[in-house]
Structure 1
Amino acid sequence: MASGRRGSSARPLSDFVHGGFMKVNCLVAACLLLPAFSAAETLRLRSGADLEAGVLSIDPTAVLLEDGRRLPRAEVTEIQFSSPQKEKAAVSRAVSPEEITAAKAAFAKARELSAGYPGVNGLVLLDSGTEILKPDGTRVSRNHQVRQILKESLKQRWGRLISCAEEGRARVKILKASVYNPDGSIYPLEPERIKTSRPQSEGGSFFVSGSICTQYLMPNVQTGSIVDYVTEHETYNPFRKDFFFPSWGFQDSEGPVGLSEISVSVPEGKELFYSVKNFTGPGKPEVSSAGGMKTWYWKLENVPPLVAEPSMPSYEDFAPYVRGAVFKDWDRLFDWTGGMYEERTKPSEELKKFTLELVKDAKTEEEQAARIYHYVQKEIRYIAVKVGIASGWGGYDANLTWKRRYGCCIDKALLMTTMLGAAGIKSSPILLNTNTGREVDFSVPQMGFNHAITVAEVGGRHVFLDSTNFDYRYPEIASFDYGVHVLNIFAKKIDYVPVPEPRGNGNHYDYTIAVSSDGSALVSEKMRYTGSREGALRSYYRSIKKEEQKRAFQGFAKSVAPSAELLSYEVNNAEKIEEPFTMGLKYAVPDYAQRAGNIRIFKLPDFEIEPFRISEISLDKRRYPIEYDASMGRYYSYEIDLPENYEVVSLPERTKLSNKHASFAAACGRPADNRIACSVSWERTSRIIPPGDYPEYKAFIEKLAGYTKSQIFFKVKEN
């Protein structure tokens, strides 16, 4: 049961990038995209010319340069990224005795730590953080990293620093950035090599402004080097002096961590409310007081590296992690966001009139909601334009978003809420982390959400609507929204986006196969979908060209038999969001039935489950859960018309398999002498498979995969 009929999506972002599973400090809402790298590179242009420039970021439509220029992606044919060792040699300068001592201690620690972890990419000797909330509400974050690079792949990622801060509110400093090499050479920080830039991405789906990025490419980094750096992020003009949400992760995927520690200090009289996750012990901090400040301190030593598993959860869901806040419940965040959103969801008379005209012929609330949902998806382009916390978290006024016809997730959610309200339908903006990111720990208030959607009370139902996309027929949403707890802003409560039943997120494949006496076959396939599957596939086929569509369908036919010839195909309603999306194809296979004397062996198309489709069960044991985006339903029907000279020898046995997460049923019969009918149902109700259930789930999948190797046997009757 292969599924080449699919599309995909992805995202993420970090402050200082270390590679692998990364600790992410979310500073503002997900609509704010920061660049991830910068260096002097050689760009080969379509004209044939070469351009030497610093590349700040790359998005699907543009290459953004450090000097502010934006080159269309189509004009750049090749980028040659410079390596640290090719950079201009560092200026010789005096090395302090403290640096020499630090280098010796670092190499000694590296020898000790590496003994227990052969073959890793790198060693994290020190991973130290300090978070300070000052009495005046300003705050300082410091990060001290000492890391040894053992593999070539880490030279770029661990050998460069970049961090961005909102102009007028915060600043970034690099206090130390030293390179210790095995030959004894030491290269301290060269302040004149620190670069700053004001990136503005003006293409694709994002426009970012209002940030200053600080960058430093450490010189003479080589395999075996130890990098030792200290960075500081000072928020001198916080947008809210009472908002302080420190967090820290203690584990890395590239190698072991010798010491990971975090201290959080707040003024005496304030309290820190915190949550500790995935610690092997109790995770109780050391608490101390000095100089009018109270400090909480956590540390872990000799933390083994994370070992990735297929379809595992996000970093924070399984790594040791601490989150904190200086107030206990969510009321303050509800009040703050609710106040902004109330102001920004008041429709103008013009918008109200437009909305009522849009829904005037709708007979039910469902029809009204559907028209508004499809309108916001189709007519308001998804483009993020963010210049600070107010627009990043608060979004823009819905009337402005409507007039200029673009906005990011929170902008579109606010417009949806406004238009639904104008039509008399109660609704609210929703803040969430998509299920491709970390699960929000609601025991401690926090601001690290990466998405915004809408919830509405429609026809007595609690309906979640994600208008960010273009392709989801009411009331369906993208699969990454399912199965997460969310902030319902106007209701001031923690809400939940349910996982649909398998048939509500299904793939339906209907085959009609006409077999000829010579063993050739004419195959007709109809494909229809429900839920997020429909939207994802509509999106994919709407985005590709006609010739690419044809190649995709040729691939479907060839996957059944290399000799298959595509006769026709159809893609229906890719542009019509209001209508069901369906596809179909017809192909001929001259030698479909395999011959063995007078026996003909027949495989049902798209029936067998190949190992690469179920890579999540490839391990004998798992430490972490299997995490899917959503539930799953796959439903197959086959009608096979046989020639007069074919006699059925055997059919796949009727089977039924099930466990608490999934079920599988298949049966074949003979409704007429010259016809075979088979039906298959494979459903998975669970989105997450816990490690404790893995052995049973793995055995279930392996058993059904074995069953799908079953074939149909015919005998050719003699004349």
Structure 2
Amino acid sequence: MRLLSIITFTFLSISVVFAQDNYDAELIPSAMRNRANATIRNEETVVDMRSPENVMYTVKQAITVLNKNGDDNARLVLFYDKNISIKSIKGEVYNEVGKLTNKFSQSDFKDESAVQGFSLFEDNRVKHFLPAVNNYPYTVVYTYEIRYKQNLIIPDWKPKPANDVAVQKSTYTFICKPTDQIRIKTQNLATQADEKIDDKQKTLLWKVNDLPGIKPEPFSPFKDTYQPFVKIAPQQFSYFNYKGNYSNWQELGKWYYDNLLKNRNALPQTTTDAIKDLVKNEKTDKDKARKIYQYLQNKTRYISIQVGIGGFQPYTAADVDRLGYGDCKALVNYMQSLLTIAGIESYYCVVQAGSEKKNLDPSYASMNQGNHIILCMPLKGDTTWLECTSQKIPFGFLGDFTDDRYVLACTPEGGKLLKTPKYGSQNNLQVRNAHLIIDQTGNLSGSVKTIFSGTQYDNHEEIIDKPFIEQQKLLKEDYNIDHINFEKITYLQDKYVNPNITENLNLTIKNYGVINNNKLFIVLNAFNVKGTIPEVRNRAMPVYINRGYTDIDTIIYTIPENVIAVIEPHQKALNSDFGSYISTATIEGNKLTYYRKFVLNEGTFPAQGYEQFSKFITEVNTADNLKFILSLKK
């Protein structure tokens, strides 16, 4: 697993005091129950930036879990280390009518290493707790407080944590000195902050009320685009004995490089000599980098520590060289150090990784927008990107984990926002060619060759090294055809910058055809029928297609002799804003050729366009289910 978590900072509550609350679940308005699995009754969050080295974050939250699907919203997870101290945790559990049934404290939390078995990260720990309650609804009240010895990171306030959580009331208070300079970004808030300033402190207060649960809608945008939030970044900051200030990405990247990255690339002479010997016969920097990347993959392994938990400073290249493992920060710094030996320039890049394409915000620089590190090599205009945490991923390929988004390159000259490569629908290909023989009982046998490229490369990359039995199991799930059996499975990989996987299968499918009244019915599209999508009335969200792709299928059927094929020449063509589709079927002698091409376009479309999108996909599904008929009467 790569780093998938966003930076988690939980600084929490002491000074906040609720009024005497009644947690009877019947008091929750119906609008706050509808479409919700849990309801936040009241939440008060306070950030008190007493000094750059002393930030207190306090929270008190009362959340009612309405049913079993809401249980996970009652879980509390807190990370800490030698620079982050959990000052207090306490809580209560109330039953359906608001009667107190249990109390808990910090001693009831499980306390574990955040990463077990790795000496570099033994200081990173996690406390977590989930009440054991089986009767619904129930209410959990958490009160907790954490002290941070830095103010580089001020946690974002996101009062609505999930679509299935309703919020009756939530407030966020930020306190600082009146002379402190801060930058603020807000989104989807109905009102501005209430601001109070005197000679001792400045206080900002944001409120939200009555945020209902949201019914999930297929192909919706990421929730960060429509949920409310407040982000705060102090201009003057302290980070564990480092001082600095920034107001833009250039200044932040400069500070990052000068204070956290510089002078951490020294390597033993034996490693330096080994790298020089490794690349001595390579003619270009790109070929040298490819050799060094293979060296990295063979020598190191990745351990998952999210950026922020393990700190923002990578462990030294010498540590990784000695131990053979590291998190994304350490492995990127190590790879960069190896490249430096060969005289190859590269950039340490902060990125928000994940299948959702999330950009660093060009208009708002802050340290807590990234969760992963990758490497960029400019290579005199032949820019090449490296994912350093995988022992398998091809050189220069990012896949759908970090593609098509802004990243922060930290350089000696300062920070630069760069864009990672985009894999469009024309790049994300699945091209299949099959030769199948059908007999008079409806059984199929033959060979199938499929080439996967672009982000569709990821679809089958993990299956390659599995045992044959495991490959069969995974392919049966993927192809999802009754009675399918794989007699031979082979894979070939082209691991260049634009990699692909070739899958070759020998297979049989018993009873694929259906016999009725001396006729055999066969669905022409054997392997790639597009499923329908749900109908949505009164669509609220825009239609968002995260990635486009292209599927091309060509299947040649050999028909039994002495039977009559009942099929008219077929051609179906569809075009819409969302994509295109064409399928054809022709017969010549005992050969029936089926061809299909489906293109899905990425993009954001108006909510009212969902009906058109659903219609387009339904028409594709109908065309994909086209049958041809063999008359078994001689």
What's the TM-score, normalizing by structure 2? 0.84
* Counterpart residue number, 1:319: 227
1:547 is aligned with what amino acid? I
Kindly indicate whether the alpha-carbon contact (under 8 Å) linking 2:194 and 2:206 is maintained by their aligned counterparts in 1: yes
1:639-678 matches, within 5 Å, as 639-651=556-568, 653-670=570-587, 672-678=588-594
2:227 is aligned with what amino acid? A
Kindly indicate whether the alpha-carbon contact (under 8 Å) linking 1:520 and 1:590 is maintained by their aligned counterparts in 2: yes
User: Is the partner of 1:292 in helix, strand or coil?
Assistant: coil
The alpha-carbon distance between structure 1 residues 329 and 467, as it changes in their structure 2 partners (threshold 3 A), is same
1:493 is aligned with what amino acid? K
Deviations 1:353-380 (A, max 9, x none): 3333333444444433333334333432
Among residues 410, 428, 448, which one is paired with 2:329 in the alignment? 410
Distance 1:208 1:626 in 2: 42
The alpha-carbon distance between structure 1 residues 25 and 403, as it changes in their structure 2 partners (threshold 3 A), is closer
Q: CA deviation at 1:289?
A: 0.8
1:36-47 matches, within 5 Å, as none
Q: CA deviation at 1:567?
A: 3.5
User: Is the partner of 1:394 in helix, strand or coil?
Assistant: coil
Matched, 1:250 2:250: no
Among residues 684, 687, 694, which one is paired with 2:600 in the alignment? 684
* Counterpart residue number, 2:552: 635
Among residues 457, 466, 487, which one is paired with 2:387 in the alignment? 466
Q: CA deviation at 1:411?
A: 1.9
The alpha-carbon distance between structure 1 residues 548 and 132, as it changes in their structure 2 partners (threshold 3 A), is same
1:227 is aligned with what amino acid? V
1:427-466 matches, within 5 Å, as 427-436=346-355, 439-448=359-368, 449-458=370-379, 460-466=381-387
1:44-443 matches, within 5 Å, as 102-104=20-22, 106-107=23-24, 111=27, 113-114=29-30, 117-118=33-34, 120-135=36-51, 137-152=53-68, 154=70, 157-158=73-74, 161-167=76-82, 169-174=83-88, 177-181=91-95, 185-186=99-100, 193=107, 197=111, 199=113, 201-203=115-117, 208-211=121-124, 213=126, 223-235=136-148, 237-238=149-150, 241=151, 243-251=152-160, 252-279=162-189, 281=190, 283-310=191-218, 312-327=220-235, 328-339=247-258, 340-345=260-265, 349-384=269-304, 392-436=311-355, 439-443=359-363
Distance 2:271 2:170 in 1: 53
Q: CA deviation at 1:351?
A: 3.6
Matched, 1:696 2:612: yes
Kindly indicate whether the alpha-carbon contact (under 8 Å) linking 1:472 and 1:532 is maintained by their aligned counterparts in 2: no
* Counterpart residue number, 2:242: none
* Counterpart residue number, 1:26: 8
1:583-598 matches, within 5 Å, as 583-589=503-509, 591-597=511-517
Q: CA deviation at 1:707?
A: 1.0
Distance 1:138 1:675 in 2: 77
Distance 2:52 2:570 in 1: 74
Deviates more, 1:598-607 or 1:471-480: 598-607
Kindly indicate whether the alpha-carbon contact (under 8 Å) linking 2:543 and 2:609 is maintained by their aligned counterparts in 1: no
Deviations 1:490-522 (A, max 9, x none): 262212223213342222211012344665443
The alpha-carbon distance between structure 1 residues 667 and 210, as it changes in their structure 2 partners (threshold 3 A), is same
Distance 1:556 1:246 in 2: 40
Distance 2:113 2:422 in 1: 39
Deviates more, 1:587-596 or 1:473-482: 587-596
Kindly indicate whether the alpha-carbon contact (under 8 Å) linking 2:454 and 2:498 is maintained by their aligned counterparts in 1: no
Deviations 1:215-257 (A, max 9, x none): 667698953443333211112x32xx5x243411122444421
Distance 2:60 2:400 in 1: 38
Q: CA deviation at 1:394?
A: 1.8
Matched, 1:581 2:494: no
Among residues 464, 467, 473, which one is paired with 1:551 in the alignment? 473
1:266 is aligned with what amino acid? C
Distance 2:422 2:86 in 1: 42
* Counterpart residue number, 2:244: none
The alpha-carbon distance between structure 1 residues 170 and 218, as it changes in their structure 2 partners (threshold 3 A), is same
2:263 is aligned with what amino acid? E
Query: Percentage identity across aligned positions?
Result: 17
Aligned Cα root-mean-square deviation (Å) = 3.7
2:198 is aligned with what amino acid? A
Deviations 1:143-183 (A, max 9, x none): 1212233324556752x64423222x232233652344456
Distance 2:9 2:32 in 1: 36
Distance 1:492 1:589 in 2: 57
Deviations 1:52-101 (A, max 9, x none): xxxxxxxxxxxxxxxxxxxxxxxxxxxxxxxxxxxxxxxxxxxxxx99x7
The alpha-carbon distance between structure 1 residues 175 and 585, as it changes in their structure 2 partners (threshold 3 A), is closer
Distance 2:39 2:297 in 1: 46
The alpha-carbon distance between structure 1 residues 572 and 232, as it changes in their structure 2 partners (threshold 3 A), is same
Among residues 396, 414, 424, which one is paired with 1:475 in the alignment? 396
Distance 2:316 2:450 in 1: 41
What's the TM-score, normalizing by structure 1? 0.75
Deviations 1:460-512 (A, max 9, x none): 32222212223322332231212222112226221222321334222221101
Q: CA deviation at 1:291?
A: 4.9
The alpha-carbon distance between structure 1 residues 10 and 314, as it changes in their structure 2 partners (threshold 3 A), is farther
Distance 2:452 2:106 in 1: 58
Residue correspondences, number: 611
2:371 is aligned with what amino acid? N
The alpha-carbon distance between structure 1 residues 569 and 122, as it changes in their structure 2 partners (threshold 3 A), is closer
The alpha-carbon distance between structure 1 residues 215 and 697, as it changes in their structure 2 partners (threshold 3 A), is closer
